[in-house]
């Protein structure tokens, strides 16, 4: 699940606590938040992947999600 964020420390608890159990990876794409968005995400979901996005615009947070999937060996 890819979640674009910008100053979402107050909203992330609501979103992350309601994440379905079948979601096994959460990626926060943070657009230069000035609050504690990243810290809140890590506290609520220690396995969260944080990508810092410095470019402006609504489409950039989804660019990492469009990359080929990571393959892990079993």
Which of 3, 2, 8, 4 lies closest to 40, judged by CA?
8
CA 16, 62, 38, 10 torsion-angle sign: negative
Average pLDDT over every residue of 53-68:
63
Pairing state between β 49-52 and 2-5: unpaired
- How remote is the C-alpha of 56 from its chain's centroid? 16
Query: Residue 42: its pLDDT value, please?
Result: 96
Cβ atoms of 2 and 64 within 8 Å: the answer is: yes
Classify residue 12: in a domain, yes or no: yes
What total of structural domains would you count in the chain? 1
pLDDT over 90 (residue 46): yes
In a domain, 53, yes or no: yes
Q: Is residue 25 part of a domain?
A: yes
- CA–CA distance, 60 with 42 (Å, rounded to integer): 22
Boundaries of domain holding 27: 2-57
Let me know if residue 29 belongs to a domain.
yes
For residue 32, the model assigns a pLDDT of 87
Residue 40 in this model has a pLDDT that exceeds 90: yes
């Amino acid at each position: 699940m890819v979640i674009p964020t910008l100053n979402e420390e107050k909203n992330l608890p609501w979103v992350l606590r309601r994440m379905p159990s079948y979601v096994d990876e959460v990626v926060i794409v943070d657009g230069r938040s000035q609050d504690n968005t990243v810290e809140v995400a890590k506290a609520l979901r220690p396995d969260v992947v944080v990508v810092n996005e410095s470019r402006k615009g609504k489409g950039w947070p989804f660019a990492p999600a469009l990359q080929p999937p990571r393959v892990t060996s079993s």
